[in-house]
Amino acid sequence: MNKKTYEFSPYFNHNSYNIFFTNLANPLKIGIILSLRVKEKNVSELVKDLGVEQSKISHALQSLKSCNIVNVKQDGKGRIYSLNKDTVLPMLELIDKHASIHCKCKSCLKGCDKK
C-alpha cells in the first residue's frame, strides 16, 4: 500500500506534523503530558502515577523530548521532566477550551464516549 504525502504548503513539514500528532495520539504519552501538567516529575513518580513499567515511560519520554513537548533537567543522578511551558501548556488550555465548547458530548472531558 502506497502512502501518499500531502504537502499543503512549502512552509510546513508534513513529517513534523505527523510526528507531533502521533505523540498526542498515544494514551501513555497523553497520560505523561497530563501528569506533568500538574507538576514536574522524575521517571519514578511517573511510573507511580501511571502504573506503567519504567522502560515504557522512559521510551515515551524520549519521544516526547525529541519533539520538545517535554523538557528535562539533570537533578543529581536523576532527571526531572516538565512540559514545554512556552508552547505545550497554552496548547493544552486551547484543547480544554475547544473540547468544552465543541465536543458533542459535554462530559467528554470526563471520559464520556457518547457520540
Residues 14-84, CATH architecture? Orthogonal Bundle (1.10)
pLDDT at 115: 46
The larger pLDDT score, comparing residue 7 to residue 37, is at 37
Answer yes or no: are the C-beta atoms of 46 and 78 closer than 8 Å.
no
**Cβ(50)–Cβ(41) under 8 Å?**
no
φ, ψ dihedrals at 23, nearest 5°: -60, -40
- pLDDT for res 110: 57
Q: For 14-39, how does the pLDDT look when each residue is reduced to its tens digit (9 = 90+)?
A: 788 888 889 889 999 999 999 999 99
Say what percent of the chain tops pLDDT 90.
62
More confident residue, 40 or 1: 40
C-alpha to C-alpha distance for 105 and 115, rounded to whole angstroms = 7
Average pLDDT over residues 49-62: 98
- For the chain, give every domain's residue range: 14-84, 85-115
Residue carrying the nine cell digits 468544552 = 100
Q: What is the mean pLDDT of the chain?
A: 86
The average pLDDT across 62-67 equals 95
Cβ atoms 50, 38 nearer than 8 A: no
Q: By mean pLDDT, which of 7-11, 41-45, 107-111 is the weakest?
A: 107-111
**What DSSP line would sit under 65-94, residue for residue?**
HHTTSEEEEEETTEEEEEE-TTTHHHHHHH
53 in Cβ contact with 44 (< 8 Å): no
Q: Diameter of the chain by CA atoms?
A: 49
